[in-house]
Structure 1
Protein backbone atom coordinates (compact mmCIF):
# COMPACT_ATOMS: atom_id res chain seq x y z
CA UNK A 1 0.00 0.00 0.00
CA UNK A 2 1.45 3.36 -1.04
CA UNK A 3 1.90 6.02 1.66
CA UNK A 4 -0.70 8.78 1.11
CA UNK A 5 0.71 12.12 -0.01
CA UNK A 6 -0.65 14.40 2.72
CA UNK A 7 1.42 17.45 1.80
CA UNK A 8 0.30 17.81 -1.82
CA UNK A 9 -2.30 20.45 -0.94
CA UNK A 10 -5.43 18.29 -0.89
CA UNK A 11 -5.52 17.84 2.89
CA UNK A 12 -6.69 20.99 4.68
CA UNK A 13 -6.72 22.01 8.32
CA UNK A 14 -10.52 22.08 8.15
CA UNK A 15 -10.40 18.38 7.35
CA UNK A 16 -8.54 17.71 10.59
CA UNK A 17 -11.05 19.81 12.51
CA UNK A 18 -13.89 17.77 11.00
CA UNK A 19 -12.28 14.44 11.92
CA UNK A 20 -11.90 15.60 15.52
CA UNK A 21 -15.54 16.70 15.67
CA UNK A 22 -16.81 13.46 14.09
CA UNK A 23 -14.86 11.36 16.60
CA UNK A 24 -16.44 13.23 19.50
CA UNK A 25 -19.96 13.70 18.15
CA UNK A 26 -20.23 10.28 16.45
CA UNK A 27 -22.64 11.93 14.06
CA UNK A 28 -22.27 13.86 10.81
CA UNK A 29 -25.23 16.02 11.82
CA UNK A 30 -23.70 16.77 15.22
CA UNK A 31 -20.27 17.54 13.76
CA UNK A 32 -21.76 19.80 11.10
CA UNK A 33 -23.76 21.71 13.72
CA UNK A 34 -20.67 22.15 15.92
CA UNK A 35 -18.62 23.48 13.00
CA UNK A 36 -21.46 25.62 11.61
CA UNK A 37 -21.46 23.94 8.21
CA UNK A 38 -24.17 22.02 6.40
CA UNK A 39 -24.47 18.25 6.56
CA UNK A 40 -23.76 17.81 2.81
CA UNK A 41 -20.56 19.84 3.18
CA UNK A 42 -19.46 17.69 6.13
CA UNK A 43 -20.26 14.49 4.23
CA UNK A 44 -18.39 15.66 1.16
CA UNK A 45 -15.36 16.73 3.21
CA UNK A 46 -15.23 13.34 4.91
CA UNK A 47 -15.28 11.60 1.52
CA UNK A 48 -12.46 13.89 0.36
CA UNK A 49 -10.27 12.91 3.35
CA UNK A 50 -10.95 9.23 2.84
CA UNK A 51 -10.05 9.57 -0.82
CA UNK A 52 -6.73 11.17 0.08
CA UNK A 53 -5.94 8.45 2.64
CA UNK A 54 -7.34 5.57 0.60
CA UNK A 55 -9.18 4.04 3.58
CA UNK A 56 -12.54 4.37 5.28
CA UNK A 57 -12.26 6.37 8.51
CA UNK A 58 -15.83 5.96 9.76
CA UNK A 59 -18.49 3.31 9.40
CA UNK A 60 -21.82 4.91 8.56
CA UNK A 61 -24.94 3.61 10.30
CA UNK A 62 -28.52 4.66 10.99
CA UNK A 63 -27.52 5.97 14.45
CA UNK A 64 -24.42 7.84 13.38
CA UNK A 65 -20.79 7.10 12.56
CA UNK A 66 -18.24 4.88 14.30
CA UNK A 67 -14.47 5.28 13.82
CA UNK A 68 -12.72 2.37 12.12
CA UNK A 69 -9.23 1.37 13.24
CA UNK A 70 -7.98 3.81 10.61
CA UNK A 71 -10.27 6.52 11.97
CA UNK A 72 -9.07 6.03 15.55
CA UNK A 73 -5.43 6.25 14.46
CA UNK A 74 -5.89 9.25 12.18
CA UNK A 75 -7.94 11.12 14.79
CA UNK A 76 -5.06 10.85 17.23
CA UNK A 77 -2.68 12.41 14.71
CA UNK A 78 -5.23 15.07 13.70
CA UNK A 79 -5.67 16.15 17.31
CA UNK A 80 -1.93 16.32 17.85
CA UNK A 81 -1.52 18.58 14.80
CA UNK A 82 -4.39 20.86 15.86
CA UNK A 83 -2.97 21.07 19.37
CA UNK A 84 0.44 22.09 18.06
CA UNK A 85 -1.13 24.82 15.92
CA UNK A 86 -3.09 26.13 18.91
CA UNK A 87 0.05 26.10 21.02
CA UNK A 88 2.03 27.91 18.32
CA UNK A 89 -0.46 30.77 18.10
CA UNK A 90 -0.67 31.19 21.86
CA UNK A 91 3.08 30.98 22.27
CA UNK A 92 3.64 33.82 19.82
CA UNK A 93 1.09 36.00 21.65
CA UNK A 94 2.65 35.28 25.03
CA UNK A 95 6.16 36.02 23.80
CA UNK A 96 4.91 39.38 22.59
CA UNK A 97 3.56 40.19 26.08
CA UNK A 98 5.10 38.10 28.86
CA UNK A 99 2.63 39.30 31.52
CA UNK A 100 -0.39 38.16 29.55
CA UNK A 101 -1.44 34.86 28.12
CA UNK A 102 -4.13 32.22 28.54
CA UNK A 103 -4.04 28.81 30.13
CA UNK A 104 -6.93 26.36 29.99
CA UNK A 105 -7.28 23.62 32.60
CA UNK A 106 -9.78 20.79 32.85
CA UNK A 107 -10.92 19.47 36.21
CA UNK A 108 -13.24 16.96 37.81
CA UNK A 109 -14.26 16.54 41.42
CA UNK A 110 -10.94 15.71 43.13
CA UNK A 111 -8.66 18.72 43.10
CA UNK A 112 -11.32 21.19 41.98
CA UNK A 113 -12.29 22.35 45.47
CA UNK A 114 -8.92 23.09 47.09
CA UNK A 115 -5.86 22.53 44.92
CA UNK A 116 -6.95 24.35 41.76
CA UNK A 117 -8.53 27.45 43.37
CA UNK A 118 -5.50 27.99 45.61
CA UNK A 119 -3.09 27.59 42.69
CA UNK A 120 -5.09 30.06 40.57
CA UNK A 121 -5.23 32.57 43.43
CA UNK A 122 -1.45 32.41 43.86
CA UNK A 123 -0.88 32.74 40.13
CA UNK A 124 -3.20 35.73 39.76
CA UNK A 125 -1.50 37.50 42.65
CA UNK A 126 1.73 37.53 40.63
CA UNK A 127 0.29 37.82 37.10
CA UNK A 128 -3.15 39.46 37.25
CA UNK A 129 -3.40 39.86 33.47
CA UNK A 130 -2.95 36.14 32.79
CA UNK A 131 -6.29 34.52 31.93
CA UNK A 132 -7.17 31.11 33.39
CA UNK A 133 -9.99 29.12 31.78
CA UNK A 134 -11.41 26.26 33.86
CA UNK A 135 -13.48 23.54 32.22
CA UNK A 136 -15.30 20.80 34.11
CA UNK A 137 -16.08 17.42 32.62
CA UNK A 138 -15.73 13.69 32.92
CA UNK A 139 -12.19 12.25 32.79
CA UNK A 140 -12.89 10.72 29.36
CA UNK A 141 -14.20 13.96 27.83
CA UNK A 142 -11.35 15.99 29.30
CA UNK A 143 -8.76 13.56 27.93
CA UNK A 144 -10.11 14.16 24.42
CA UNK A 145 -9.98 17.91 25.00
CA UNK A 146 -6.40 17.60 26.24
CA UNK A 147 -5.21 15.54 23.29
CA UNK A 148 -6.81 18.02 20.88
CA UNK A 149 -5.09 20.97 22.57
CA UNK A 150 -8.27 22.67 23.73
CA UNK A 151 -7.01 22.45 27.31
CA UNK A 152 -3.42 22.48 28.54
CA UNK A 153 -3.71 20.09 31.47
CA UNK A 154 -6.15 18.19 33.68
CA UNK A 155 -6.28 18.46 37.47
CA UNK A 156 -7.98 15.60 39.22
CA UNK A 157 -7.95 12.00 40.28
CA UNK A 158 -5.32 9.81 38.63
CA UNK A 159 -6.86 6.47 37.75
CA UNK A 160 -4.31 5.11 35.29
CA UNK A 161 -0.55 5.15 34.76
CA UNK A 162 1.20 7.33 32.19
CA UNK A 163 1.07 6.21 28.57
CA UNK A 164 3.00 7.03 25.42
CA UNK A 165 0.63 9.97 24.81
CA UNK A 166 -0.34 11.17 28.31
CA UNK A 167 1.90 11.86 31.31
CA UNK A 168 0.28 11.66 34.76
CA UNK A 169 2.05 13.41 37.64
CA UNK A 170 0.88 12.55 41.21
CA UNK A 171 0.80 15.52 43.59
CA UNK A 172 -0.76 14.16 46.79
CA UNK A 173 -2.77 11.25 48.17
CA UNK A 174 -6.34 11.80 49.29
CA UNK A 175 -8.82 9.62 51.13
CA UNK A 176 -12.44 9.18 50.12
CA UNK A 177 -14.97 9.35 52.95
CA UNK A 178 -18.72 9.15 53.49
CA UNK A 179 -20.46 12.48 54.13
CA UNK A 180 -23.96 13.63 55.02
CA UNK A 181 -25.63 16.95 55.69
CA UNK A 182 -24.81 18.53 59.05
CA UNK A 183 -28.35 17.91 60.25
CA UNK A 184 -28.47 14.22 59.28
CA UNK A 185 -29.80 11.87 62.03
CA UNK A 186 -26.52 9.90 61.92
CA UNK A 187 -24.30 12.98 62.11
CA UNK A 188 -23.07 12.26 65.65
CA UNK A 189 -22.86 8.48 65.52
CA UNK A 190 -19.60 6.98 66.81
CA UNK A 191 -19.21 4.15 64.32
CA UNK A 192 -21.14 2.84 61.32
CA UNK A 193 -20.84 0.04 58.76
CA UNK A 194 -21.84 -0.13 55.13
CA UNK A 195 -24.54 -2.63 56.08
CA UNK A 196 -26.14 -0.08 58.42
CA UNK A 197 -26.19 2.49 55.63
CA UNK A 198 -27.32 0.30 52.75
CA UNK A 199 -31.02 1.14 53.16
CA UNK A 200 -30.42 4.89 53.11
CA UNK A 201 -30.56 6.99 49.92
CA UNK A 202 -27.07 7.36 48.43
CA UNK A 203 -25.41 9.60 45.88
CA UNK A 204 -22.95 7.52 43.88
CA UNK A 205 -20.44 8.49 41.19
CA UNK A 206 -21.39 7.65 37.60
CA UNK A 207 -20.88 4.12 36.35
CA UNK A 208 -18.12 5.30 34.00
CA UNK A 209 -15.85 6.44 36.87
CA UNK A 210 -13.10 4.46 38.57
CA UNK A 211 -14.41 5.53 41.99
CA UNK A 212 -17.75 3.88 41.24
CA UNK A 213 -16.04 0.56 40.50
CA UNK A 214 -14.01 0.81 43.72
CA UNK A 215 -17.16 1.47 45.75
CA UNK A 216 -18.93 -1.48 44.15
CA UNK A 217 -15.97 -3.67 45.13
CA UNK A 218 -16.07 -2.31 48.70
CA UNK A 219 -19.76 -3.20 49.01
CA UNK A 220 -19.13 -6.61 47.49
CA UNK A 221 -16.29 -7.38 49.92
CA UNK A 222 -18.57 -6.73 52.86
CA UNK A 223 -21.41 -8.76 51.35
CA UNK A 224 -23.68 -5.73 51.16
CA UNK A 225 -25.65 -5.06 47.97
CA UNK A 226 -25.29 -1.71 46.28
CA UNK A 227 -27.98 0.71 47.58
CA UNK A 228 -31.12 0.59 45.45
CA UNK A 229 -32.25 4.09 46.47
CA UNK A 230 -29.59 6.17 44.76
CA UNK A 231 -28.79 9.15 42.61
CA UNK A 232 -25.77 9.15 40.29
CA UNK A 233 -23.98 12.49 40.05
CA UNK A 234 -20.48 13.92 39.69
CA UNK A 235 -21.29 17.62 40.07
CA UNK A 236 -20.22 18.76 43.53
CA UNK A 237 -22.83 21.54 43.59
CA UNK A 238 -25.58 18.99 42.95
CA UNK A 239 -24.19 16.56 45.51
CA UNK A 240 -23.77 19.28 48.12
CA UNK A 241 -27.32 20.58 47.81
CA UNK A 242 -28.80 17.09 47.97
CA UNK A 243 -26.81 16.33 51.11
CA UNK A 244 -27.92 19.59 52.71
CA UNK A 245 -31.60 19.23 51.83
CA UNK A 246 -32.22 15.48 52.16
CA UNK A 247 -31.16 12.42 54.15
CA UNK A 248 -28.91 11.17 51.36
CA UNK A 249 -25.28 10.29 51.96
CA UNK A 250 -22.38 10.37 49.52
CA UNK A 251 -18.70 9.62 49.11
CA UNK A 252 -16.46 12.64 48.55
CA UNK A 253 -12.73 13.38 48.59
CA UNK A 254 -11.74 14.26 52.16
CA UNK A 255 -10.51 17.78 51.40
CA UNK A 256 -13.81 18.67 49.73
CA UNK A 257 -16.13 17.26 52.39
CA UNK A 258 -14.17 18.40 55.44
CA UNK A 259 -13.83 21.96 54.16
CA UNK A 260 -17.63 22.40 54.00
CA UNK A 261 -19.34 23.43 57.24
CA UNK A 262 -22.68 22.19 55.92
CA UNK A 263 -21.39 18.62 55.68
CA UNK A 264 -20.31 16.09 58.28
CA UNK A 265 -18.16 12.98 57.92
CA UNK A 266 -19.78 9.70 58.88
CA UNK A 267 -17.49 7.18 60.66
CA UNK A 268 -17.58 4.50 57.98
CA UNK A 269 -14.51 2.45 57.08
CA UNK A 270 -13.86 2.36 53.32
CA UNK A 271 -10.72 0.22 52.96
CA UNK A 272 -8.81 0.45 49.67
CA UNK A 273 -10.90 3.40 48.44
CA UNK A 274 -8.59 6.36 47.94
CA UNK A 275 -6.67 8.01 45.17
CA UNK A 276 -3.82 10.14 43.96
CA UNK A 277 -4.65 13.66 42.85
CA UNK A 278 -2.40 15.09 40.22
CA UNK A 279 -1.83 16.55 36.77
CA UNK A 280 -2.30 15.00 33.36
CA UNK A 281 -0.46 16.57 30.42
CA UNK A 282 0.33 15.47 26.90
CA UNK A 283 3.64 13.65 26.66
CA UNK A 284 6.29 15.37 24.52
CA UNK A 285 4.22 18.56 24.16
CA UNK A 286 5.82 21.61 25.75
CA UNK A 287 3.54 23.81 27.82
CA UNK A 288 3.15 27.45 26.87
CA UNK A 289 4.66 30.02 29.26
CA UNK A 290 1.21 30.55 30.80
CA UNK A 291 0.67 26.82 31.10
CA UNK A 292 4.05 26.37 32.77
CA UNK A 293 3.17 29.11 35.28
CA UNK A 294 -0.04 27.35 36.35
CA UNK A 295 1.74 23.98 36.34
CA UNK A 296 4.36 25.31 38.76
CA UNK A 297 1.72 26.94 40.95
CA UNK A 298 -0.22 23.68 41.24
CA UNK A 299 2.88 21.75 42.25
CA UNK A 300 3.82 24.41 44.79
CA UNK A 301 0.38 24.36 46.44
CA UNK A 302 0.40 20.57 46.61
CA UNK A 303 3.89 20.44 48.10
CA UNK A 304 3.58 23.31 50.57
CA UNK A 305 -0.04 23.07 51.73
CA UNK A 306 -1.87 19.90 50.83
CA UNK A 307 0.69 17.18 51.50
CA UNK A 308 0.75 18.02 55.20
CA UNK A 309 -3.04 18.22 55.46
CA UNK A 310 -3.67 14.88 53.81
CA UNK A 311 -0.87 13.20 55.74
CA UNK A 312 -2.44 14.40 58.99
CA UNK A 313 -5.75 12.77 58.11
CA UNK A 314 -4.32 9.29 57.45
Structure 2
Protein backbone atom coordinates (compact mmCIF):
# COMPACT_ATOMS: atom_id res chain seq x y z
CA UNK A 1 0.00 0.00 0.00
CA UNK A 2 1.41 3.40 -1.02
CA UNK A 3 2.15 5.77 1.86
CA UNK A 4 0.56 9.23 1.40
CA UNK A 5 3.20 11.86 0.61
CA UNK A 6 2.46 13.83 3.77
CA UNK A 7 3.08 10.74 5.92
CA UNK A 8 6.28 9.48 4.30
CA UNK A 9 8.50 11.20 6.88
CA UNK A 10 9.57 14.23 4.88
CA UNK A 11 7.00 16.66 6.27
CA UNK A 12 8.06 18.05 9.64
CA UNK A 13 6.14 20.06 12.19
CA UNK A 14 8.50 22.97 11.57
CA UNK A 15 7.05 23.10 8.04
CA UNK A 16 3.54 23.55 9.46
CA UNK A 17 4.72 26.25 11.86
CA UNK A 18 6.46 28.05 9.01
CA UNK A 19 3.42 27.99 6.71
CA UNK A 20 1.26 29.43 9.50
CA UNK A 21 3.79 32.22 10.13
CA UNK A 22 4.19 33.01 6.43
CA UNK A 23 0.43 33.30 5.98
CA UNK A 24 0.12 35.73 8.90
CA UNK A 25 3.25 37.79 8.29
CA UNK A 26 3.02 38.08 4.51
CA UNK A 27 6.80 38.10 4.11
CA UNK A 28 9.58 35.57 4.47
CA UNK A 29 11.57 38.12 6.48
CA UNK A 30 8.71 38.58 8.94
CA UNK A 31 8.12 34.86 9.34
CA UNK A 32 11.83 34.18 9.84
CA UNK A 33 12.03 36.86 12.52
CA UNK A 34 8.99 35.48 14.34
CA UNK A 35 10.43 31.95 14.33
CA UNK A 36 13.98 33.10 15.17
CA UNK A 37 15.53 31.52 12.07
CA UNK A 38 17.46 33.05 9.21
CA UNK A 39 15.73 34.14 6.02
CA UNK A 40 17.62 31.54 3.91
CA UNK A 41 16.55 28.81 6.35
CA UNK A 42 12.91 29.90 6.10
CA UNK A 43 13.10 30.03 2.30
CA UNK A 44 14.70 26.58 2.20
CA UNK A 45 11.98 25.12 4.43
CA UNK A 46 9.27 26.65 2.24
CA UNK A 47 10.84 25.07 -0.85
CA UNK A 48 10.90 21.73 0.98
CA UNK A 49 7.21 21.73 1.80
CA UNK A 50 6.29 22.92 -1.71
CA UNK A 51 8.37 20.07 -3.16
CA UNK A 52 6.59 17.58 -0.89
CA UNK A 53 3.16 18.83 -1.95
CA UNK A 54 4.10 19.38 -5.57
CA UNK A 55 2.33 22.75 -5.77
CA UNK A 56 3.29 26.37 -5.04
CA UNK A 57 1.93 27.60 -1.71
CA UNK A 58 2.86 31.27 -2.05
CA UNK A 59 3.40 33.70 -4.91
CA UNK A 60 6.43 35.97 -4.51
CA UNK A 61 6.02 39.66 -5.22
CA UNK A 62 7.91 42.92 -4.67
CA UNK A 63 6.02 43.59 -1.42
CA UNK A 64 6.03 40.12 0.02
CA UNK A 65 4.21 36.84 -0.55
CA UNK A 66 0.57 35.97 -1.18
CA UNK A 67 -0.95 32.55 -0.55
CA UNK A 68 -2.10 30.64 -3.62
CA UNK A 69 -5.31 28.63 -3.53
CA UNK A 70 -3.13 25.67 -2.52
CA UNK A 71 -1.46 27.75 0.18
CA UNK A 72 -4.78 28.90 1.66
CA UNK A 73 -6.05 25.34 1.84
CA UNK A 74 -2.84 23.90 3.30
CA UNK A 75 -2.52 26.72 5.84
CA UNK A 76 -5.98 25.94 7.17
CA UNK A 77 -5.07 22.27 7.66
CA UNK A 78 -1.65 23.14 9.12
CA UNK A 79 -3.27 25.34 11.76
CA UNK A 80 -5.76 22.61 12.63
CA UNK A 81 -2.94 20.11 13.17
CA UNK A 82 -0.93 22.57 15.29
CA UNK A 83 -4.02 23.39 17.34
CA UNK A 84 -4.74 19.74 18.03
CA UNK A 85 -1.14 19.12 19.14
CA UNK A 86 -1.19 22.14 21.43
CA UNK A 87 -4.46 20.97 22.93
CA UNK A 88 -3.22 17.41 23.35
CA UNK A 89 -0.10 18.49 25.24
CA UNK A 90 -2.01 20.75 27.59
CA UNK A 91 -4.76 18.18 28.13
CA UNK A 92 -2.23 15.56 29.21
CA UNK A 93 -0.55 18.04 31.58
CA UNK A 94 -3.87 19.00 33.12
CA UNK A 95 -4.82 15.39 33.68
CA UNK A 96 -1.48 14.87 35.38
CA UNK A 97 -1.62 18.04 37.50
CA UNK A 98 -5.34 18.20 38.21
CA UNK A 99 -6.18 21.84 39.13
CA UNK A 100 -2.98 23.39 37.78
CA UNK A 101 -3.92 23.77 34.13
CA UNK A 102 -3.90 26.80 31.85
CA UNK A 103 -6.63 28.42 29.76
CA UNK A 104 -5.94 31.11 27.14
CA UNK A 105 -8.85 33.44 26.40
CA UNK A 106 -8.94 36.08 23.68
CA UNK A 107 -11.04 39.19 24.13
CA UNK A 108 -11.87 42.55 22.63
CA UNK A 109 -13.65 45.58 24.02
CA UNK A 110 -17.19 44.19 24.24
CA UNK A 111 -16.16 41.28 26.46
CA UNK A 112 -13.25 42.54 28.50
CA UNK A 113 -14.60 45.21 30.82
CA UNK A 114 -17.23 43.55 33.02
CA UNK A 115 -18.01 39.95 32.11
CA UNK A 116 -14.51 38.50 31.78
CA UNK A 117 -12.97 39.96 34.98
CA UNK A 118 -15.96 38.82 37.04
CA UNK A 119 -15.84 35.34 35.53
CA UNK A 120 -12.09 35.04 36.14
CA UNK A 121 -12.57 36.10 39.76
CA UNK A 122 -15.23 33.43 40.24
CA UNK A 123 -13.05 30.82 38.53
CA UNK A 124 -10.04 31.61 40.71
CA UNK A 125 -12.10 31.19 43.86
CA UNK A 126 -12.76 27.60 42.87
CA UNK A 127 -9.46 26.85 41.13
CA UNK A 128 -6.80 29.15 42.63
CA UNK A 129 -3.90 27.43 40.88
CA UNK A 130 -5.46 27.42 37.42
CA UNK A 131 -3.63 29.94 35.23
CA UNK A 132 -5.71 32.26 33.03
CA UNK A 133 -3.94 34.02 30.16
CA UNK A 134 -5.89 36.91 28.58
CA UNK A 135 -4.96 38.12 25.11
CA UNK A 136 -6.56 41.29 23.76
CA UNK A 137 -6.61 41.92 20.01
CA UNK A 138 -8.95 42.70 17.13
CA UNK A 139 -11.68 40.13 16.38
CA UNK A 140 -10.00 39.14 13.12
CA UNK A 141 -6.61 38.53 14.76
CA UNK A 142 -8.22 36.53 17.56
CA UNK A 143 -10.00 34.26 15.09
CA UNK A 144 -6.64 33.36 13.56
CA UNK A 145 -5.27 32.68 17.05
CA UNK A 146 -8.26 30.45 17.79
CA UNK A 147 -7.90 28.60 14.50
CA UNK A 148 -4.23 27.89 15.24
CA UNK A 149 -4.92 26.79 18.81
CA UNK A 150 -3.08 29.66 20.46
CA UNK A 151 -6.26 30.67 22.28
CA UNK A 152 -8.92 28.30 23.64
CA UNK A 153 -11.90 30.61 23.30
CA UNK A 154 -12.85 34.20 22.49
CA UNK A 155 -15.12 36.37 24.63
CA UNK A 156 -16.67 39.36 22.93
CA UNK A 157 -19.22 40.62 20.49
CA UNK A 158 -20.79 38.04 18.20
CA UNK A 159 -21.03 39.32 14.64
CA UNK A 160 -21.65 36.09 12.73
CA UNK A 161 -23.55 32.83 13.22
CA UNK A 162 -21.84 29.51 13.84
CA UNK A 163 -20.11 28.08 10.79
CA UNK A 164 -16.75 27.88 9.02
CA UNK A 165 -15.31 25.76 11.83
CA UNK A 166 -16.49 28.10 14.61
CA UNK A 167 -19.23 27.68 17.22
CA UNK A 168 -20.72 30.84 18.73
CA UNK A 169 -22.76 30.89 21.95
CA UNK A 170 -24.68 33.98 23.07
CA UNK A 171 -24.27 34.93 26.74
CA UNK A 172 -26.28 38.17 26.85
CA UNK A 173 -27.54 41.02 24.67
CA UNK A 174 -26.33 44.56 25.17
CA UNK A 175 -27.14 48.00 23.81
CA UNK A 176 -24.59 50.54 22.56
CA UNK A 177 -24.64 54.21 23.53
CA UNK A 178 -22.81 57.52 23.30
CA UNK A 179 -20.77 58.17 26.43
CA UNK A 180 -19.15 61.30 27.92
CA UNK A 181 -17.68 62.16 31.30
CA UNK A 182 -20.21 63.06 33.98
CA UNK A 183 -19.01 66.70 34.05
CA UNK A 184 -19.40 67.11 30.28
CA UNK A 185 -21.44 70.14 29.15
CA UNK A 186 -24.00 67.85 27.51
CA UNK A 187 -24.22 65.23 30.27
CA UNK A 188 -27.51 66.47 31.80
CA UNK A 189 -29.16 67.93 28.71
CA UNK A 190 -32.31 66.28 27.33
CA UNK A 191 -33.21 66.14 23.66
CA UNK A 192 -29.70 66.19 22.25
CA UNK A 193 -29.44 65.79 18.49
CA UNK A 194 -26.64 63.91 16.78
CA UNK A 195 -25.82 67.04 14.78
CA UNK A 196 -24.83 68.87 17.99
CA UNK A 197 -22.21 66.24 18.73
CA UNK A 198 -20.38 66.47 15.42
CA UNK A 199 -18.42 69.51 16.66
CA UNK A 200 -16.96 67.54 19.57
CA UNK A 201 -13.97 65.17 19.46
CA UNK A 202 -14.96 61.52 19.15
CA UNK A 203 -13.59 58.10 20.01
CA UNK A 204 -14.63 55.51 17.43
CA UNK A 205 -14.06 51.75 17.36
CA UNK A 206 -11.20 50.59 15.15
CA UNK A 207 -11.95 50.27 11.41
CA UNK A 208 -11.55 46.48 11.61
CA UNK A 209 -14.61 46.09 13.89
CA UNK A 210 -18.25 45.47 13.02
CA UNK A 211 -19.31 48.21 15.44
CA UNK A 212 -17.26 50.76 13.48
CA UNK A 213 -19.07 49.83 10.26
CA UNK A 214 -22.43 50.23 12.00
CA UNK A 215 -21.45 53.64 13.39
CA UNK A 216 -20.39 54.76 9.91
CA UNK A 217 -23.78 53.65 8.56
CA UNK A 218 -25.48 55.64 11.33
CA UNK A 219 -23.60 58.80 10.32
CA UNK A 220 -24.44 58.21 6.67
CA UNK A 221 -28.16 57.80 7.42
CA UNK A 222 -28.12 61.18 9.14
CA UNK A 223 -26.13 62.82 6.36
CA UNK A 224 -22.82 63.11 8.20
CA UNK A 225 -19.32 61.97 7.40
CA UNK A 226 -16.89 60.69 10.00
CA UNK A 227 -15.95 63.27 12.65
CA UNK A 228 -12.73 64.95 11.58
CA UNK A 229 -11.55 65.26 15.19
CA UNK A 230 -11.41 61.62 16.27
CA UNK A 231 -9.38 58.86 17.90
CA UNK A 232 -9.77 55.25 16.75
CA UNK A 233 -9.10 52.53 19.31
CA UNK A 234 -10.46 49.37 20.91
CA UNK A 235 -8.35 49.78 24.06
CA UNK A 236 -10.71 50.37 26.96
CA UNK A 237 -7.99 51.83 29.17
CA UNK A 238 -7.28 54.45 26.51
CA UNK A 239 -10.98 55.16 25.96
CA UNK A 240 -11.72 55.58 29.67
CA UNK A 241 -8.79 57.91 30.33
CA UNK A 242 -9.64 60.12 27.37
CA UNK A 243 -13.25 60.26 28.52
CA UNK A 244 -12.23 61.32 32.02
CA UNK A 245 -9.77 63.98 30.88
CA UNK A 246 -11.37 65.52 27.76
CA UNK A 247 -14.71 66.51 26.20
CA UNK A 248 -14.65 63.51 23.91
CA UNK A 249 -17.76 61.53 22.89
CA UNK A 250 -17.29 57.75 22.74
CA UNK A 251 -19.32 54.89 21.28
CA UNK A 252 -19.38 52.13 23.92
CA UNK A 253 -21.35 49.09 25.08
CA UNK A 254 -23.69 50.06 27.91
CA UNK A 255 -22.27 47.74 30.56
CA UNK A 256 -18.89 49.44 30.35
CA UNK A 257 -20.22 52.58 32.05
CA UNK A 258 -22.82 50.91 34.25
CA UNK A 259 -20.82 50.97 37.49
CA UNK A 260 -18.75 54.10 36.83
CA UNK A 261 -20.35 57.28 38.19
CA UNK A 262 -17.67 59.36 36.46
CA UNK A 263 -19.20 58.55 33.05
CA UNK A 264 -22.63 59.31 31.62
CA UNK A 265 -24.67 58.09 28.68
CA UNK A 266 -26.18 60.70 26.39
CA UNK A 267 -29.89 60.39 25.48
CA UNK A 268 -29.19 59.95 21.78
CA UNK A 269 -30.78 56.80 20.31
CA UNK A 270 -28.46 54.64 18.21
CA UNK A 271 -30.97 52.02 17.11
CA UNK A 272 -30.59 49.57 15.54
CA UNK A 273 -27.01 49.37 16.87
CA UNK A 274 -26.70 46.74 19.59
CA UNK A 275 -25.03 43.40 19.96
CA UNK A 276 -24.84 39.99 21.54
CA UNK A 277 -21.85 39.16 23.73
CA UNK A 278 -20.77 35.56 23.81
CA UNK A 279 -18.22 32.84 23.21
CA UNK A 280 -16.51 31.82 20.02
CA UNK A 281 -15.07 28.30 20.05
CA UNK A 282 -13.46 25.93 17.59
CA UNK A 283 -15.95 23.42 16.22
CA UNK A 284 -13.24 20.80 15.69
CA UNK A 285 -11.34 20.74 19.00
CA UNK A 286 -12.18 19.17 22.33
CA UNK A 287 -12.05 21.70 25.13
CA UNK A 288 -9.58 21.17 27.95
CA UNK A 289 -10.84 20.90 31.55
CA UNK A 290 -9.45 24.39 32.21
CA UNK A 291 -11.34 25.89 29.27
CA UNK A 292 -14.53 24.13 30.35
CA UNK A 293 -14.12 25.58 33.84
CA UNK A 294 -13.75 29.13 32.50
CA UNK A 295 -16.75 28.70 30.20
CA UNK A 296 -18.86 27.55 33.15
CA UNK A 297 -17.77 30.65 35.09
CA UNK A 298 -18.57 32.91 32.12
CA UNK A 299 -22.03 31.41 31.69
CA UNK A 300 -22.79 31.70 35.41
CA UNK A 301 -21.55 35.29 35.53
CA UNK A 302 -23.52 36.29 32.43
CA UNK A 303 -26.73 34.83 33.84
CA UNK A 304 -26.47 37.19 36.79
CA UNK A 305 -25.86 40.29 34.72
CA UNK A 306 -29.22 42.03 34.33
CA UNK A 307 -29.46 44.21 31.20
CA UNK A 308 -28.88 47.90 31.91
CA UNK A 309 -31.87 50.20 32.04
TM-score band w.r.t. shorter chain? over 0.9
User: What SS does the aligned partner of 1:72 have?
Assistant: helix
What CA deviation, in whole Å up to 9, does each residue of 1:198-242 have, x standing for no partner? 121111111111101111111222223321211111111111111
User: What SS does the aligned partner of 1:129 have?
Assistant: coil
Answer whether contact 1:194 1:224 (CA < 8 A) is retained: no
Number of the residue aligned with 2:127: 127
Range that drifts further, 232-241 or 254-263: 254-263
For structure 1, which runs of at least 5 residues remain unmatched after alignment?
none
Does 2:31 align with 1:28? no
Q: Superposed, which structure 2 residues align to 1:135-154 within 5 Å?
A: 135-154=135-154
User: What SS does the aligned partner of 1:6 have?
Assistant: helix
- TM-superposed CA distance for 1:245, in Å, is 1.2
- TM-superposed CA distance for 1:260, in Å, is 2.2
Change (3 A) 1:241 1:48: same
User: What SS does the aligned partner of 1:143 have?
Assistant: helix
Aligned residues: 308
For structure 2, which runs of at least 5 residues remain unmatched after alignment?
none
- TM-superposed CA distance for 1:149, in Å, is 0.4
Number of the residue aligned with 2:112: 112
- TM-superposed CA distance for 1:284, in Å, is 2.5
Answer whether contact 1:178 1:249 (CA < 8 A) is retained: yes
- TM-superposed CA distance for 1:4, in Å, is 5.9
Q: Give the root-mean-square deviation of aligned CA atoms.
A: 1.4
Whole-Å separation in 2 of the counterparts to 1:52 and 1:296:
44
Answer whether contact 1:258 1:265 (CA < 8 A) is retained: no
Number of the residue aligned with 2:83: 83
Does 2:40 align with 1:11? no
Whole-Å separation in 2 of the counterparts to 1:226 and 1:87:
44
- TM-superposed CA distance for 1:37, in Å, is 0.4
Number of the residue aligned with 2:198: 198
User: What SS does the aligned partner of 1:94 have?
Assistant: helix
Whole-Å separation in 1 of the counterparts to 2:248 and 2:60:
44
Whole-Å separation in 1 of the counterparts to 2:133 and 2:81:
22
Range that drifts further, 146-155 or 284-293: 284-293
User: What SS does the aligned partner of 1:30 have?
Assistant: helix
Runs of 4 or more consecutive aligned structure 1 residues displaced over 3 Å after TM superposition? none
What CA deviation, in whole Å up to 9, does each residue of 1:252-272 have, x standing for no partner? 010002222321111111011
What CA deviation, in whole Å up to 9, does each residue of 1:173-218 have, x standing for no partner? 0000100122211111112121111121111111111101111111
Change (3 A) 1:92 1:3: closer
User: What SS does the aligned partner of 2:268 have?
Assistant: coil
Answer whether contact 1:193 1:269 (CA < 8 A) is retained: no
